[in-house]
């Protein structure tokens, strides 16, 4: 993996990841998502503030950013630089995919368009994992579901999934490089949830509750 292709992939992936989907969707509805709810620009806060359709849309687009950064962007970079993407060595493709994935996550978490304050990177990380280590993603998604439906805490489910990520990569026989990279991704996700951790410890973290249906008249 050469320096030029690595830099190009990392920079473009950062810019792709930095698109503040939640902020833009809320802005289109006349809302500054940073001033309502938890103040986060991610899908959970959008869902709580603007409703399920908007939240799901943000979730999917944020995940798509991560997937594109791993599965598509390296091929485009190699093609533009004159390399044969289809004939590139497998290890080079994997390495550029890792660079792209990490770049997209950093871009989402520290977007240059909002003074380097972004989301927590869970949806974007899921998109990266779908392209990079899909079986590990399946395991941690199962962990997420188990913790969420047991506690109704989105943050706790995300923290548990992030903590289990490197172990899931190891269990699915991924390379040492991928285990270390997914470990770093999990650590970053937990770090971005530090405010949630404090609220969980103090019992002030809000649970995700379904809104009661209006009684029929």
Alpha carbons 14 and 121: distance in angstroms, whole number: 12
Neighbouring residues of 7: CB distance < 8 A, sequence distance ≥ 6: none
Closest CA to 200 of 148, 144, 153: 153
Per-residue confidence (pLDDT) for residue 84, from 0 to 100: 55
Q: Is the pLDDT of residue 83 over 70?
A: no
Per-residue confidence (pLDDT) for residue 212, from 0 to 100: 52
Q: Is the pLDDT of residue 1 over 80?
A: no
Alpha carbons 48 and 37: distance in angstroms, whole number: 8
Q: How far is CA 145 from CA 33, 112, 157, in A?
A: 26, 32, 7
Q: What is the mean pLDDT of the chain?
A: 92
Q: Is the pLDDT of residue 14 over 80?
A: yes
Closest CA to 70 of 113, 121, 16: 16
pLDDT by residue (tens digit) across 54-66?
999 999 999 999 9
Alpha carbons 37 and 113: distance in angstroms, whole number: 21
pLDDT by residue (tens digit) across 168-201?
999 999 999 999 999 999 999 999 999 999 999 9
Mean pLDDT of 142-152: 97
What pTM was estimated for this model as a whole?
Answer: 0.92
Alpha carbons 124 and 69: distance in angstroms, whole number: 10
Mean pLDDT of 27-35: 96
- What secondary structure letter does DSSP report for 214? P
Q: Is the pLDDT of residue 217 over 60?
A: no
Q: Is the pLDDT of residue 89 over 60?
A: no
Do 21 and 58 form a contact (C-beta atoms < 8 A)? yes
Q: Is the pLDDT of residue 216 over 60?
A: no
């Amino acid at each position: 993996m050469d320096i030029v292709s690595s830099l190009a992939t990392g920079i473009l992936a950062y810019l792709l990841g930095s698109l503040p989907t939640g902020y833009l969707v809320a802005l289109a509805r006349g809302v500054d998502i940073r001033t309502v709810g938890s103040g986060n620009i991610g899908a959970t806060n959008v869902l709580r503030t603007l409703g399920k359709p908007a939240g799901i849309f943000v979730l999917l687009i944020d995940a798509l950013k991560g997937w594109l950064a791993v599965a598509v962007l390296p091929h485009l970079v190699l093609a533009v630089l004159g390399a044969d993407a289809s004939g590139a060595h497998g290890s080079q493709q994997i390495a550029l995919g890792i660079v792209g994935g990490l770049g997209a996550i950093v871009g989402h978490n520290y977007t240059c368009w909002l003074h380097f304050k972004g989301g927590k990177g869970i949806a974007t990380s899921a998109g990266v994992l779908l392209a990079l280590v899909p079986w590990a993603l399946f395991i941690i998604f199962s962990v997420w579901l188990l913790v969420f439906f047991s506690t109704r805490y989105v943050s706790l489910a995300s923290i548990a999934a992030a903590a289990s990520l490197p172990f899931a990569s190891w269990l699915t026989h991924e390379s040492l490089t991928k285990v270390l990279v997914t470990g770093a991704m999990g650590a970053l996700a937990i770090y971005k949830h530090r405010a949630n951790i404090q609220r969980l410890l103090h019992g002030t973290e809000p649970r995700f509750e379904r809104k009661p249906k209006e009684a029929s008249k």
